[in-house]
Amino acid sequence: MKLLKGSNSGSIKLRVKPFFLETGPTKVEKEEEEEEEEEEEEEEEEEEEEEEEEEEEEEEEEEEEEEEEEEEEEEEEEEEEEEEEEEEEEEEEEEEEEEEEEEEEEEEEEEEEEEEEEEEEEDDREEEEDDEEDDEEDDEEDDEEDEEEDEEEEEEEEEEEDEEEEDEDEEEEDEDEDEEDEDEEEEDEEDEEEEDEEDEEDEKRKRNIVEVFS
């Protein structure tokens, strides 16, 4: 009886040698048995080696799979990193675009403000010019009105003077007339006196004559 180790399951086989009561094994049989045992041992060793090789292959395959998985994970991580970098770059580009847009908007606002200021300044200038022109026109009108008033006053003064002169002339004429009247009156009086005197003389003469004849 001999103990043998199994190749696949690792169990122990019990090999029972044939036992003959009548006669024992011969030398040839023993040699054959030994050869068989050796062959079996070789087979078992080969099987064990094959199993070990298979295990090694499986381990290698597992390692390869792990390496592949690791590579895939690394690739995925790299891809994720690249995606993140791309996203960051896109975000940066968007931020830059937004900043540029904001700068453009600010520039446009500044330009609009400048234009508005210029327009306001122009409006103010035009208003000032208009005001100046209006003031000049008003001044001219005032001057003209003043001149007209002065002329009117002068005319009125002249008229008054003329009237005064006329009045004076009339007064003079009246005076002259009065003088003439007075002169006439005086003449009339003188004439009357002369006539009276003449009448008196005539009467005297007449009396004298009457007296003479009486």
- pLDDT by residue (tens digit) across 32-68? 889 999 999 999 999 999 999 888 888 888 888 888 8
**Arithmetic mean of pLDDT, 120-144:** 90
CB 1 within 8 A of CB 17: yes
At 65-103, the pLDDT tens digits run 888 888 888 888 888 888 999 999 999 999 999 999 999
Distance between CA atoms of 166 and 48, rounded to whole angstroms? 169
**Distance between CA 195 and CA 185 in Å, rounded?**
15
For residue 7, give the DSSP letter: S
- Measured in whole angstroms, the distance separating CA 125 from the mean position of its chain's CA atoms is 23
Q: Reduce the DSSP state of residue 10 to 3 states and report it.
A: coil
Q: pTM here?
A: 0.32
Going by C-alpha positions, the residue among 93, 80, 96 that lies closest to residue 72 is 80
SS3 content of the chain, % helix, strand, coil (to 5): 85, 5, 10
pLDDT value at position 41? 92
